[in-house]
């Protein structure tokens, strides 16, 4: 599912009857992003009157049941396969998956304070004292990246002395954990003791939504023959080893995906700069002892980088804004990312376009653009030459997709393919081709309904995404996508090898 925005509708100050809540539902439908895509405004007015009659004709007992039945009936009449009326628990779960939950981003452990044992002759005859609660120290064990705690300067190993003015030295663990809970935008003052600092440090943490992690990275070792990807007689051909490919797996597109992607690319850039032109060859040992993977998954070893792979397999989408922001950072200035379309007088017309502007920050590896002098692979659906894209440092860009790649993930893949000339590898994607609005209603319920049709490519030659994104090099995946096993990494290496060899054959021809 792809969510272009999060709209919150607030009820009036007075108590709202169920009929008024039904009216609010239709106000949301008519005003959010220009209204639903599959029903006209005149038909929406007729549906509103029919829903009112249905609500009044329902049995009077159970007002909430009447309201729920009317709302579910309304959404079923929109002729929209993605329209739904969500109960509060499902609406909260959907929002938490993409926008996150309120959290300071800090995890603590509780260590007992050292106590001196009292000995001597008095301990022989004094009666035993009543057991006292053991005093503990609260130590920061983890700080999430880009969290309120990280932004405030909290570090792993800090000892928390006070939270919101309350000392923690004599309190138990549960009490300390309760003090770290706060409301959105609430400031939480904290006093910590840090190793090497004489005086305690005062910090102020602002509680905010902390999105769940959505990007992971690892490296895979390519087969030896993949190193000869350059044309014969040209620099770059190597026979002694295949080098490495960086795999950036995007699980979904949430509120923090663009920042996470930039962070992973920054780590990758540091590795490339630190390895030099000849570092990290095939003869270099790979941690973990497996020939297909670097084992630990983190980008923490010098490597001879041969390709950057964006793994979108089984990515079912997410926030439209996150997908656009992620693609913008990887594309050259002026590149067209996406077109939003609505049906006007029987035909689809573009109502908004997204481009990479001069003020959008580029990724640490630069922009993905057509490779220098290399012919591209034909793309039958797009009718253009695609597949020769590479970063400014000359590293080819490959996008991995499968049949479960959908929605926002298709936007990202299509943008890199059309505007960045990246090579798409795998199978035809799902072909969702539409964008849904997610709206919170009073009472905690939620609505999802289609508001836009999606198209990639320039406005003069747009390509609807309802047919999916066609790969330049087809590869039927056989290993599981959800886990980074040795077999899965080996298949990724073989697939990337096939894509690089296809590109080199096209260049030689």
Show the tokens assigned to 151: 């932004």
User: pLDDT digit of tens for each residue in the chain (509 aa)?
Assistant: 555 544 444 333 334 467 888 888 899 888 888 888 888 888 999 999 999 888 888 887 777 888 888 999 999 998 899 999 999 999 999 999 899 888 888 888 887 766 544 445 445 555 655 555 566 788 899 998 888 999 999 999 999 888 888 887 655 556 667 778 888 888 999 999 999 898 999 999 998 888 899 999 999 999 876 444 444 434 444 444 478 899 999 999 999 999 999 999 988 888 777 654 333 333 333 333 333 344 334 554 456 888 899 999 999 999 999 999 999 999 988 889 999 998 877 788 888 999 998 888 888 877 777 654 333 434 433 333 445 566 766 788 999 999 999 999 999 999 999 888 899 999 999 999 999 999 988 888 999 999 999 998 765 567 889 989 999 999 999 987 877 788 899 999 999 999 888 877 655 55
Round to whole Å and give the CA distance between 95 and 352. Answer: 25
Half-sphere exposure of residue 434: CA atoms within 13 angstroms, side-chain side: 16
User: Residue 92's pLDDT is what?
Assistant: 92
State whether residue 221 is helix, strand or coil: strand
User: Residue 236's pLDDT is what?
Assistant: 43
* Residue entry with tokens 């003052």: 189
Contacts for 219 with CB less than 8 Å, ≥ 6 apart: 244, 245, 246, 247, 293, 294, 299, 301, 303
Contacts for 97 with CB less than 8 Å, ≥ 6 apart: 212, 252, 254
The partner residues of 85 in beta bridges, in order of sequence, read 447
Question: What does each C-alpha distance from 454 to 222, 256, 466 come to in angstroms?
Answer: 35, 22, 8
Give 391: exposed, middle or buried? Use CB within 10 Å, 0-12, 13-18, 19+. buried
Task: Let me know: does 338 contact 278? Beta carbons within 8 Å.
Answer: no
Query: HEC states along 297-314?
Result: CCCCCCCCEEEEEEECCC
Radius of gyration of the chain (CA): 28
Task: Please choose, from the candidates 492, 450, 509, the residue with its C-alpha nearest in 3D space to the C-alpha of residue 83.
Answer: 450
Domain at 215-437+447-508: CATH code: 3.90.226.10
Start-to-end CA distance of the chain, whole Å, equals 42
* Residue entry with tokens 């795999």: 247
Task: Let me know: does 30 contact 447? Beta carbons within 8 Å.
Answer: no
- In the chain, where are the structural domains located? 7-84, 103-111+134-210, 215-437+447-508
Round to whole Å and give the CA distance between 236 and 507. Answer: 14
Show the tokens assigned to 282: 């095939």
User: Residue 258's pLDDT is what?
Assistant: 93
Task: Let me know: does 114 contact 108? Beta carbons within 8 Å.
Answer: no
Alpha carbon dihedral 399, 402, 406, 409, in 10-degree steps, equals -20
User: Residue 36's pLDDT is what?
Assistant: 85
Percent helix, strand, coil in the chain, to 5, is: 30, 25, 45
Contacts for 481 with CB less than 8 Å, ≥ 6 apart: 311, 313, 314, 402, 488
* CA 351 from centroid of its chain's CA atoms: 26
* Residue entry with tokens 């409301």: 183
Angle at 325 between CA 320 and CA 330, to 5 degrees: 130
Show the tokens assigned to 365: 């590896």
Give 366: exposed, middle or buried? Use CB within 10 Å, 0-12, 13-18, 19+. middle
User: Residue 291's pLDDT is what?
Assistant: 34
Contacts for 39 with CB less than 8 Å, ≥ 6 apart: 47, 77, 78, 79, 80
Show the tokens assigned to 139: 């130590």
Show the tokens assigned to 227: 């190193």
Task: Let me know: does 420 contact 396? Beta carbons within 8 Å.
Answer: no
User: Residue 250's pLDDT is what?
Assistant: 96
- CATH of the structural domain 103-111+134-210, one choice from 3.40.50.720, 2.70.98.90, 2.30.42.10, 3.50.50.60: 2.30.42.10
Strands (E) in 77-186, as ranges, are 84-86, 101-103, 106-112, 136-143, 159-163, 166-167
User: Residue 480's pLDDT is what?
Assistant: 79
Task: Let me know: does 266 contact 364? Beta carbons within 8 Å.
Answer: yes
Round to whole Å and give the CA distance between 461 and 468. Answer: 16
């Amino acid at each position: 599912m792809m969510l272009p925005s999060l709209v919150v509708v607030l009820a009036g100050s007075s108590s709202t009857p169920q009929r008024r809540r039904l009216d609010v539902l239709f106000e949301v439908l008519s005003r959010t992003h220009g209204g639903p895509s599959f029903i006209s405004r005149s038909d929406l007015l007729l549906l509103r009157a029919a829903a009112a009659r249905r609500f009044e004709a329902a049995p009077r007992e159970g007002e909430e049941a009447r309201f729920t039945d009317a709302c579910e009936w309304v959404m079923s009449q929109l002729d929209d396969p993605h329209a739904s009326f969500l109960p509060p628990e499902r609406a909260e779960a959907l929002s938490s998956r993409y926008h996150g939950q309120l959290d300071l981003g800090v995890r603590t452990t509780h260590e007992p304070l050292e106590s001196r044992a009292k000995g001597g002759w008095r301990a022989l005859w004094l009666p035993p004292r009543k057991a006292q609660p053991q005093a503990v120290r609260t130590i920061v064990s983890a700080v999430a990246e880009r969290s309120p705690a990280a932004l405030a300067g909290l570090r792993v190993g800090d000892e928390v002395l006070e939270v919101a003015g309350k000392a923690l030295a004599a309190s138990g663990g549960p009490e300390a954990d309760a003090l770290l809970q706060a409301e959105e935008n609430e400031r939480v003052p904290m006093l910590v003791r840090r190793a090497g600092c004489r005086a305690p440090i005062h910090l102020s943490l602002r509680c905010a939504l902390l999105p769940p992690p959505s990007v992971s990275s690892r490296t895979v070792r390519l087969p030896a023959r993949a190193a000869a990807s350059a044309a014969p007689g040209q620099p770059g051909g190597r026979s002694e080893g295949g080098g490495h490919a960086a795999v950036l797996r995007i699980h979904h597109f949430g509120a923090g995906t663009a920042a996470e992607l930039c962070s992973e690319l920054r780590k990758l850039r540091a590795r490339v700069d630190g390895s030099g032109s000849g570092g990290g060859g095939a003869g270099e040992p790979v941690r973990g002892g497996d020939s297909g993977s670097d084992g630990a998954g983190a980008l923490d070893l010098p490597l001879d980088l041969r390709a950057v792979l964006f793994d979108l397999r089984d990515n079912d989408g997410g926030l439209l804004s996150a997908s656009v922001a992620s693609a913008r950072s990887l594309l050259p200035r002026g590149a067209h990312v996406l077109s939003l379309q609505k049906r006007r007088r029987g035909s689809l017309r573009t109502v908004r376009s997204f481009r990479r502007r001069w003020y959008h920050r580029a990724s640490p590896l630069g922009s993905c653009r057509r490779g220098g002098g290399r012919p591209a692979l034909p793309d039958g659906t797009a009718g253009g030459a695609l597949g020769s894209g590479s970063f400014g440092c000359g590293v080819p860009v490959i996008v991995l997709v499968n049949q479960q790649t959908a929605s926002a993930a298709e936007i990202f893949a299509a943008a890199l393919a059309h505007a960045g000339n990246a090579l798409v590898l795998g199978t035809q994607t799902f072909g969702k081709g539409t964008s849904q609005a997610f709206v919170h209603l009073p009472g905690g319920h939620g609505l999802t309904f289609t508001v836009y049709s999606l198209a990639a490519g320039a406005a003069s030659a747009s390509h609807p995404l309802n047919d999916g994104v066609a790969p330049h090099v087809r590869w039927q995946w056989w290993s599981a996508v959800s886990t980074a096993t040795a077999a899965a990494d080996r298949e990724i290496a073989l697939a990337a090898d096939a894509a690089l060899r296809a590109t080199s054959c096209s260049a030689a021809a």
